[in-house]
């Protein structure tokens, strides 16, 4: 019998009836080896990145609606911190002009809405007695709502570096992506992300204080503060951040100077003056281990001779010891 005939016989002997099929597929087995787990993690990261890309697209393509202000709810931690002046400027603008950028919300089970981005605008509309506000209703998975809050705020150039850091840190913890992948996902340079993530290296007490007024410290200055903290000057860093938050006049440049190593001023002793009668012949000074003998201009021709005498004197002194 030929090989082809044998294969046909085998095929006819296979029973594909439903009764002989397994009742249900076997559950997937979790990888146990480190390489297997890494491959699994990479798959989850890729999936998260795809979801984030879909979210960014949804944010760009969403259509606005008019929603009752009374049905909007603020979620703690999502409101972007504004200075008193920034809040006043935004209120004056919204009082005079229509809303340029709709707020973003997510629908709740009770039919009302949680604000994803735009808490300050919604709060000002309440203060102004407005009953409705333009809003984008996101129809996304609940796990992606915090990501939506981050990316909506990233569209604002006024978002402080420290707030971006918290948003990036949250995103990184939830997805497991590294800084390079984070930069690509957020659509900004890898260098910028790395500079922003330097906030993570500040002392915890400094970060807690800075959270009160995150706009007071930028990513450029934080690199110098982190360097000082690594060199053992954590207390000075915490103190400098406290001054930034408490005082409007204390600048970032002053904060950097505050944590810098103070150079000790060398002690300069008064010069020894040698006179001939009332006229000074020379001045002898000592500073940082350097002895100087200075002759007045008229006596300069004797300087070489005196230098030789001083040399001979010091040699004789050392030999005599």
Q: What is the pLDDT of residues 254-300, one digit of tens each?
A: 999 999 987 555 556 778 888 877 777 778 888 767 888 887 665 55
For residue 309, is pLDDT > 70?
Answer: yes
d(CA 86, CA 84): 6
pLDDT, tens digit, 9 for 90 and up, residues 20-43: 434 444 444 444 443 343 344 445
Rounded to the nearest 5°, which phi and psi values hold at 80? -75, 130
Q: CB neighbours of 206 closer than 8 A, spacing ≥ 6?
A: 225, 229, 237, 238, 241
Give the lowest-confidence range in 209-213, 231-235, 289-293: 289-293
- Using a pLDDT cut of 70, give the percent of the chain over it: 67
CA angle, corner 52, sides to 49 and 53, nearest 5? 85
Question: What integer best gives the mean pLDDT of the chain?
Answer: 76
Which residues have CB under 8 Å from 256's CB, separation 6+? 221, 224, 225, 240
Residue bearing the bigger pLDDT, 321 or 27:
321
The first and second tokens of residue 261, run together, are 């190593």
Higher pLDDT, 209 or 9: 209
Report strand pairing: 279-287 vs 103-107.
unpaired
Nearest to 55 by CA among 126, 134, 148, 121: 148
Q: For the chain, first and last CA: distance in Å?
A: 116
Q: Structural domains in the chain?
A: 51-157 (3.90.1530.10)
Q: Which of 42-51, 250-259, 307-316 has the highest mean pLDDT?
A: 250-259
CA distance 224 to 229: 9
């Amino acid at each position: 019998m030929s090989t082809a005939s044998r294969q046909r016989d085998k095929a006819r002997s296979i029973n594909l009836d439903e009764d002989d099929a397994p009742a249900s597929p076997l559950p997937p087995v979790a990888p146990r080896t480190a390489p297997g787990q890494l491959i699994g993690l990479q798959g989850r990261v890729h999936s998260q990145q795809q979801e984030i890309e879909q979210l960014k697209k949804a944010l760009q393509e969403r259509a606005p609606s008019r929603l009752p202000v009374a049905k909007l709810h603020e979620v703690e931690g999502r409101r972007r911190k504004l200075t008193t002046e920034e809040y006043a400027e935004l209120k004056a603008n919204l009082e005079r002009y229509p809303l340029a950028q709709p707020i973003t919300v997510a629908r709740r089970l009770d039919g009302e809405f949680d604000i994803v981005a735009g808490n300050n605008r919604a709060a000002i509309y309440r203060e102004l007695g407005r009953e409705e506000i333009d809003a984008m209703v996101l129809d996304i998975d609940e796990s992606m709502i915090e990501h939506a809050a981050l990316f909506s705020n990233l569209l604002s150039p006024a978002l402080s570096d420290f707030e971006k850091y918290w948003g990036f840190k949250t995103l990184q913890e939830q997805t497991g992506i590294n800084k390079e992948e984070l930069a690509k996902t957020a659509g900004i340079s890898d260098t910028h992300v790395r500079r922003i993530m330097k906030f993570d290296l500040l002392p915890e007490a400094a970060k807690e204080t800075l959270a009160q007024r995150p706009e007071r410290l930028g990513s450029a200055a934080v690199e110098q503060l982190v360097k000082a903290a690594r060199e053992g000057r954590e207390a000075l860093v915490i103190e400098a951040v406290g001054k930034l938050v408490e005082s409007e006049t204390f600048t970032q440049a002053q904060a950097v100077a505050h944590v810098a190593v103070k150079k000790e001023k060398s002690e300069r002793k008064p010069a020894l003056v040698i006179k001939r009668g009332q006229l000074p012949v020379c001045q002898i000074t000592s500073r940082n281990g350097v002895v100087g003998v200075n002759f007045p201009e008229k006596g300069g021709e004797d300087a070489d001779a005196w230098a030789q005498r001083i040399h001979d004197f010091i040699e004789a002194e050392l030999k005599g010891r």
